[in-house]
Structure 1
Amino acid sequence: MRLRTVLATLTAGLAAATCLTAGPAAANAPGSHACSPSVSLDRFSDALDKTTYRGTFVGNLSALAVDRDGSIEGLSDRSLLFTLDRRTLKPTGVVRLADESGAALDSEGLAVDLPDSRLRPSGRTPIGTRLVTSETEPSVRRYSGDGRILDRLPVPDALRVAPAGRATPNQTFEGLTLLPGGHVLLASMEYAIAGDATGIVRFQTWRRSKDDHFRLAAQYAYRTDPGLGVPEVRATPDGRLLVLERGFTPGVGNTVRLYLADPRHATDTSGIANLTGHQDGVRTVTKTLLTDIASCPSLGATARQPQSNPLLDNIEGMTITGRDPRGRLKVLLVSDDNQNAAQTTRFYFLRVRA
Structure 2
Amino acid sequence: MDFIRKTCAIVFAASLFAISVASVHAVDFSVNSRLSYLGQQIIPTGTTFNGTTVGGLSSLDYNHGTGRYLAISDDRSNINPARFYELSLDLEKFRRSSAPGQDGVSFNTVTTIQKAGGGAFAANTVDPEGLRFDPARNRIYWSNEGQRSGAGFQNPTVREMNMDGSQVRDFAVPHRYHPSGSAAGLAAGDKGVHNNLGFENLAISKDGNTLYTATENGLTQDSLPASISSGSRSRILSFDIATGQSKAEYIYDVSPVAIAPVPAGLFATNGLTDFIVVGDRQFITMERSFAVGAQTPGTPVTGNTIRLFYADARNATDVSGLESISGQNINAVTKTLLLDLSDLKHDDGTPLALDNIEGIAFGPKINGMETLILVSDNNFNNAQFTQFVALQITAVPEPETNAMLLAGLALVSIIVHRGQSMAAPSNP
Same-fold status (TM-score > 0.5): yes
TM-score of the pair, normalised by structure 1: 0.77
Task: Read off the aligned partner of 1:71 and give its amino acid letter.
Answer: R
TM alignment of 1:19-168, pairs within 5 A: 38-47=34-43, 49-67=45-63, 68-78=65-75, 79-87=82-90, 88-100=104-116, 102-104=120-122, 105-114=126-135, 128-136=138-146, 137-163=155-181, 165-168=191-194
Task: Read off the aligned partner of 1:184 and give its amino acid letter.
Answer: T
Partners of 2:308 and 2:340 within 8 A in 1: yes
Residues 173-222 of structure 1: per-residue CA shift (max 9 Å, x gap): 0010101011000001001111213411000000133xxx3211000000
1:297 alignment partner, one of 334, 339, 345: 345
Q: Which residue of 2 aligns with 1:316?
A: 358
The verdict on how the C-alpha distance between 1:299 and 1:95 changes in structure 2, with shifts beyond 3 A counting, is farther
Residues 15-47 of structure 1: per-residue CA shift (max 9 Å, x gap): xxxxxxxxxxxxxxxxxxxxx982211100014
Task: Read off the aligned partner of 1:82 and give its amino acid letter.
Answer: Y
Partners of 1:255 and 1:294 within 8 A in 2: yes
SS of the residue 1:340 aligns to: coil
Q: Distance in 2 between matches of 1:237 and 1:351?
A: 18
2:324 alignment partner, one of 274, 277, 286: 274
Which consecutive aligned stretches of 4+ in structure 1 deviate over 3 angstroms post-superposition?
47-50, 298-302, 322-327
SS of the residue 1:141 aligns to: strand
Choose 1 or 2 for highest CA Rg: 2
Q: Distance in 2 between matches of 1:316 and 1:262?
A: 20
SS of the residue 2:105 aligns to: coil
SS of the residue 1:312 aligns to: coil
SS of the residue 1:74 aligns to: strand
1:57 is displaced (CA, Å) by 1.1
| Range with bigger deviation, 161-170 or 266-275 | 161-170
Partners of 1:143 and 1:149 within 8 A in 2: yes
Q: Which residue of 2 aligns with 1:335?
A: 376
1:238 is displaced (CA, Å) by 5.8
Q: Distance in 1 between matches of 2:349 and 2:375?
A: 14
The verdict on how the C-alpha distance between 1:115 and 1:50 changes in structure 2, with shifts beyond 3 A counting, is farther
Answer 1 or 2: which has greater strand percent. Answer: 1
State whether structure 2 residue 336 is matched by structure 1 residue 288: yes
Q: Percent identical across equivalent pairs?
A: 30
SS of the residue 2:342 aligns to: helix
- Name structure 1 gaps, 5 residues minimum: 1-35, 117-127, 303-308
Q: Distance in 2 between matches of 1:337 and 1:300?
A: 26
SS of the residue 1:154 aligns to: coil
Q: Which residue of 1 aligns with 2:220?
A: 194
Residues 28-87 of structure 1: per-residue CA shift (max 9 Å, x gap): xxxxxxxx9822111000146531112211111000011242210011012211000242
Residues 201-248 of structure 1: per-residue CA shift (max 9 Å, x gap): 000000133xxx321100000011113211101112565211011121
State whether structure 2 residue 253 is matched by structure 1 residue 217: no
Partners of 1:301 and 1:311 within 8 A in 2: no
Partners of 1:48 and 1:58 within 8 A in 2: no
Q: Distance in 1 between matches of 2:254 and 2:33?
A: 22
Answer 1 or 2: which has greater helix percent. Answer: 2
SS of the residue 1:268 aligns to: coil
SS of the residue 1:294 aligns to: helix
Between 1 and 2, higher relative CO (CA 8 Å, sep ≥ 6) is seen in 1
TM-score of the pair, normalised by structure 2: 0.65
The verdict on how the C-alpha distance between 1:50 and 1:244 changes in structure 2, with shifts beyond 3 A counting, is same
- Name structure 2 gaps, 5 residues minimum: 1-31, 76-81, 91-103, 147-154, 182-189, 225-231, 258-269, 295-302, 396-428
